[in-house]
Structure 1
Amino acid sequence: MEVLNYMRLFVEVARVKSFRRAAEVLDMPNSTLSRNIAALEKTIGLRLLHRSTRKVELTEAGEVYFKRCQSIVEEARIAHEALLDLAERPTGTLRVSMPVDLAVDYLAPILSDFARANPLIDFEFDLTSRRVDLLSEQFDLAIRMGPPPTSPSMLVARQIAVLPRYLYAAPAYLKKAPPLRHPQDLAEHVLCMGQNARPQDNKKTFYRAEEVVEVVAATRFAMNSVGLSRSLAKQGVGIAVLDSVLARDDVASGQLRRVLPDWSLAPVQVHAITETRLLPARTRLFIDFLKEQLHKQIKPG
């Protein structure tokens, strides 16, 4: 890369036959330019320029070198501009790994809007909660729910959304279940927990303004699907932990009801994870678009 830079400087000096004018074009001190050309000549082992107080002339070796360097420098400039264009133009195939529930319940309309706005982008979606290896698998990014990954250390996590979580149950379940006036009452209820919950994760923390309560509530149905926990709740099996967007239609239709409405659980973070901060235009635009659209969709309460 250093030699290519030397070539670029030499071509400009040879073109205008003046160190001073070349330094002005290159926006660098005359002394720095002269020192770089001297370093190039030392690297090659040949004098390329005859210098005098009045003019600069090419040596025989300089003439030959100038003819070759012109095309090399021009090709390098064209290649650089082509890459810049690629970096800024949203084209190519976007490969994304994301959870099924998030993709179906949140991202489907966002994806269709993004596709219409960017007709030169093709898409490959892998719907899974599996932690894909971004270093070895061919994904541009992974969308994941939960805290950002701590390893490998080179991964870059950008938070694109925060999903508030509340309790919802079917009216039929609430009619036959014990009264539910405080989080402590959950000890007598059945929870349907998604988002990789486990039966042994009995402790749940609830928040009401500045008040924090930790309760022990058994999870009879543990799963890695928020959609399934929602369906089970609608069947009257138990209480599901959902966010307001996911539960909105069911609440409107009367299939679910918000319980302990003053209380919430800790929200779930959503991250876009990449293996580098240097992203092509299609990936940068997609992440920004997701973040903007999810922010419009998700409102606490």
Structure 2
Amino acid sequence: MSLLSSMELFVAVANARGFRRAAETLDMPNSTLSRRISELEKEIGVRLFHRSTRKVELTEAGQAYFRRCESIVAEARIAHESLQELAERPSGTLRVSMPVDLAISYLAPSLKAFGEQYPQIDFEMDLTPRRVDLVTDGFDCAIRMGTPPPTPSTLIARQVGLLPRYLYASPAYLRGAPPLKHPDDLANHQCMIQFPGGGKAQWTLSSRKKTVTVDVSGRYTANNVSMCRKMAALGMGVAISAGPEALEELERGQLQRVLPEWDFSPIPVYAIIESRLIPSRVRLFIDFVQASLKGYSAPL
């Protein structure tokens, strides 16, 4: 890169037929330009310019070198510009693994705009709960909720969101259930347990500066947020969800927020990629995910 840069400076001086004019074009000090050309001459072992107080002319060797360098520098510029154009118009198939609830509730509404902005990108989205192997399964990126598992040194986890979570239940359920005015009251309720645990779990809620951890239990356990929320909307108990996920049920009056002064610690969202050198389509998608979650997120 240093040699190519020196060649570019040499071509600029030859075209400008002087150091001062070339330095102005290149926006660099004349002394620096002169030193760089002298270093180039020393490196290749020949004088490239005849210098005088009146003018600067190419030597015979300089003329031969200029004919070669001019085409090399031009090709390098074309290559650089073509890569910039490719970066601005990314293409190819983007293979990404995402949680189904996050994809449907948060990303789907704005994914159309992303696809329209980058029409040469095709999408292959895996929405199963399995944890894919980016390398073996050939995925470009995985979006994960919660603290990411330990990753090999070849993988990088970038936090792109921090989603608040609340408690919801149906009005019908609440009418026939015991009072629910404090987190401790949850011990007397059917709670939708979102992860396998034998129908039991501990929920930690916070209100201002106070934090309470309560043992909860329920007849129904599922590893899917939408299923727990749907069961709550059917009057089967209390479920954890985020506002955007529960919006449809809230608008229909199927759910209402309970213990509104209490909430759970926000759940982080991470984008996991294989390396720091990633295709532009992957980088743009990760930026898109972060922008899409920004309106819902607590500050990162």
What pairs with 1:58-137 in structure 2 (closer than 5 Å)?
Answer: 58-132=58-132
Offset of residue 280 of structure 1: 6.0
Change (3 A) 1:28 1:254: closer
Structure-2 change in CA distance of 1:35 and 1:251 (3 Å): closer
- After superposing the two structures, state which structure 1 stretch, 49-58 or 36-45, moved more: 49-58
Conserved 8 A contact 2:193-2:217: no
Deviation at 1:235, TM superposition (A): 4.5
Q: Distance in 1 between matches of 2:142 and 2:268?
A: 14
Structure 2 match to 1:12? 12
| TM-score when normalising by structure 1 | 0.81
Query: Deviations 1:119-173 (Å, cap 9, x if unpaired)?
Result: 333222222444555577654443222246775577252434x332222234554
In the TM superposition, what whole-angstrom CA distance separates every residue of 1:196-248 from its partner, at most 9, and x where no partner exists? 56459733211223332221224664443111222333454432111222223
Shift of 1:41: 2.3
- Distance (whole Å) between structure 2 residues aligned to residue 120 and residue 169 of structure 1: 44
CA 1:27–1:175 in structure 2 vs 1: closer, same or farther (change >3 Å)?
closer
Q: CA 1:131–1:65 in structure 2 vs 1: closer, same or farther (change >3 Å)?
A: farther
Q: 2:160 matched to which residue of 1?
A: 159
Q: Which residue of 1 aligns with 2:2?
A: 2
8 Å CA contact 2:98–2:128 kept in 1: the answer is yes
Cα distance between partner residues in 2 of 1:130 and 1:64: 63
Alignment of 1:132-281 (within 5 A): 132=132, 138-147=138-147, 151=151, 155=156, 157-160=158-161, 162-171=162-171, 173-174=173-174, 177-194=177-194, 196=195, 198-199=197-198, 202-218=201-217, 221-274=220-273
2:219 and 2:49 map into 1 onto residues whose CA distance is 84
Where 1:46 maps in the other structure, the secondary structure is: coil
Q: Identical aligned pairs, as a percentage?
A: 55
Aligned residue for 2:192, secondary structure, equals: strand
Measured in 2, the distance between the counterparts of 1:148 and 1:53 equals 67
What letter corresponds to residue 15 of structure 2 in structure 1?
A: R
Query: Residues 197 and 263 of structure 1: is their aligned pair in 2 closer, same or farther, counting only changes over 3 Å?
Result: farther
Which residue matches 2:25?
25
1:12-38 CA deviation, whole Å, 9 max, x = no partner?
222233223222222222322222222
Provide the alpha-carbon RMSD of the alignment.
Answer: 3.3
For the residue of structure 2 that corresponds to 1:193, the secondary structure is coil
Q: CA deviation at 1:254?
A: 4.1
State the 1:64 CA deviation: 1.7
Structure 1 pair 245/12, CA: closer, same or farther in 2 (3 Å)? closer
Unaligned runs of 5+ in 2: none
Question: What SS is found at the alignment partner of 1:202?
Answer: strand
Aligned to 1:42: 42
Name the TM-score, length of structure 2 as normaliser. Answer: 0.81
- For the residues of structure 2 that align with 1:253 and 1:18, how far apart are their CA atoms? 77
CA gap 1:136/1:61 in 2 versus in 1, 3 angstroms: farther
Unaligned runs of 5+ in 1: none
Checking the alignment, whether the CA contact within 8 Å between 1:169 and 1:239 is kept in structure 2 is: yes
Read off the aligned partner of 2:5 and give its amino acid letter: N
